[in-house]
Structure 1
Amino acid sequence: MRVLLATDAWVPQINGVVRTYLRLREELALMGTELVVLEPSQFRCIPCPSYPEIPLALPARRRCARFIEDAQADTIHIATEGPVGWMVRAWCLRHGVPFTTSFHTRFADYASARWPVPQSWGYAFQRYFHAPSAGVMVATRSLSADLSERGFQRLRPWTRGVDMDLFRPSRERLFGPGPVFLYVGRVAVEKNIEAFLSLDLPGVKVVVGDGPQLGELRARYPSVTFAGVRQGEDLAAAYASADVFVFPSLTDTFGMVLLEAIASGVPVAAFPATGPKDIIVSGVSGVLGSDLRAAAMAALDLDRDLVRQAAEAFTWRAAAQLFLDNVESALEQECDAPVIEGRDLKPVRLRAQ
């Protein structure tokens, strides 16, 4: 089987969406499925406003169509609501080809955090994008419930996995004797990082990552260790060196960093928001509460062996199989459904027979 993935987030970007699909591609290959990727580097691009390191593809309808046709894929999955996603969405609708999508990012919340834009506008935009999808994959139950209340339809669960071999406990201490309170992720206003940095905590605060707010926060909090971007074994070592992983975000839809932390045996302190409340068992793998300082201090007392065990329920093989199950069942239902006026659905398989 061959799946065409359309995504505006791809290497060299470093974020949860990119890492999800890189690992999904590996797991699908082991299962006999090829993931063919259409991403921004295949088009002319401009820098994204406020995030110049993120390229935005310029519309190229013919190039997009040629790639899709040459890929000879069995099915199409659209990961993002950016220019690449819109081009592939338009091609599918023009040709009556059903497709699936994923809801990865609360762009409505991100936009309202940076500009005076009502959240309702952003959600209306995303709802319109996903409306023709045969199945919208979401990472958590709480996110599914929230989106359902906002009018999104055909929602399907799709969890994530964690590499238990890479992310593992260690006695190595990179940032001093501690206690070490760690944040890993994008350094941007929508991540609510100052809710962590402003806390009165003992020991050391460490931030791993990069982003548009890095310079501002580094100047405002000179006592914080900003360790830059880390990947692979260096990232795993940073996790394992921490005593508590602090996750201040209120807008993430999942938070792969939560799984990486608990796989490293590091308990999580977080607000009871979407993502943490779906992944973390408060009092076992972390502490959730509206008082982030109290949660961070309480997390210091948790059993790191039990924290590690909590991550074992999340495997990439199971996540890849669920992705395939979602694609197949969603598209079967779409093709079996009554034809919508003005929309003549073609068979799911795009590959030449």
Structure 2
Amino acid sequence: MLQFHPLPAVGAGAAERAIEADQTNLSVIVDERLVVKWLTPPVPLPQPAPEFFAHLTAVGFTETARPYAALTSRGADGTGTLVALVTAYLPEATDGFDWCVTEAANGRTAFAADLGRLAADLHLALATPSPTFPEPVRNGDPEGRWGTRAATALAEALELTGGADGEWLARLAERLRGLVEPLGRAGRTPLIRVHGDLHVGQTLRWRDGYAVIDFDGNPTVREQDPYQPAARDVAQLATSLEHVAQVAIKRRGADPAASVAWAARARAALLTAYRARLAEAGKAWLLEESLLAPFEIEQECRELIYAARHLPRWRYAPMGVLRARFGGTPATGDTA
């Protein structure tokens, strides 16, 4: 077991209840004090979450559910696996795709500045040296990996998206290729250990504020590079606000034009607060602005891949974002 903070005392007969959520793993709340996230199945070590927990603890980052421990096992052949993660339970916590959709349906954007500051605080913490990440900032992508990865994601999204959505996307393909092409020239952009899957669903709003969670990486990316531009996280968080607008349209009956306008205002507030926080800390250079737009397009491609491979009913969200951006009308009959 890897321990990051002392575990609170919990009695043998402590109450337990599972978190009712659509998730791959099983999370159990113990004594209204702990959350034990059981990996189903356990995953081979090394994994990013224990490293993040150790680093964030060392640098004093507290805007997350306090990490207590990572439970590991080792087989007869010496290989290790991550079995579970133990973190603090955050009272009255709600998932971002619940609380943020409510904000969208009601046209409120005040929260967005808080999310921008939260993302900046996380990146500032990840750019601070610790025994776990002694050299947390690196430079450059001389091999053009980000461009290759984005082009591959676009090709996969085109291949997997069928029906009227696929036909519309195919007509847009050349334009999208041009938009992601700058990623191949990222040059000496500063790299840090990014969250890797930073969207509103990874931000809890709880009794005492906001918390970023789930440092397990992006489920649509194979062989992720641990060090990436901060712009990747920022782009994903910003586009997730556009997904929230699409959810509000579909599930809450929100007005489409008003929801798209809401997303634009929320994005602007988030980015303004993020930039201001970095500048206040003297690290505005962490964000390479020119990479935001290309990473946003790549992210929509990854959302389409995720929908095709794991959750078909989700396709309406990235397609809604792309159609809103590029002047398309919603397809009918080929999305759930």
TM beyond 0.5: no
The structure that is helix-richer by fraction is 2
Shorter-chain TM range is: under 0.3
